[in-house]
Amino acid sequence: MEECVFCKIIRKELPSYSVFEDETDIAFLDIRPLNPGHTLVVPKTHFRWIWDVPDTGKHFETVAMIAKALRKTMKTEWIAADVAGMGVPHAHVHLVPRFPQDGHGEFVNGKNVKTIPAEQMVSIAETIRNGLASISKLISGGK
């Protein structure tokens, strides 16, 4: 789908704060973050809904790996996940690190967008990439 903003990010036509990419999925920081580290995990093939992704098991393995890296790098146990997919018509999962007194209450408030300077977004993305690298080494037996 040519006009889809996520498809444009996947094709590198738009910039992103990328944290992960493999042959089937890409993950990047949300530019309207609900908390620092708010990450979107997106299949590279355009599907309207997450439930249309042919191998949701593989996709959610990627989601889980990124959530584990977020827990470690953002120093929190609580990662909220949302698969509503209403904002952009391309399947995606939001992973939002949660913190005490983060202004959201029990559920993430989609109107409580944080302003995070670009330099800090670059730093957060690098921290998450480094966390993913250490998790990948653990999974692969240190190779």
Question: Which residue in the list 38, 90, 92, 94 is annotated as catalytic?
Answer: 92
Nearest to 35 by CA among 131, 101, 84: 101
CA–CA distance, 11 with 92 (Å, rounded to integer): 16
* 92 flagged as catalytic: yes
Tokens of 109: 């408030």
Enzyme catalytic residues: 92
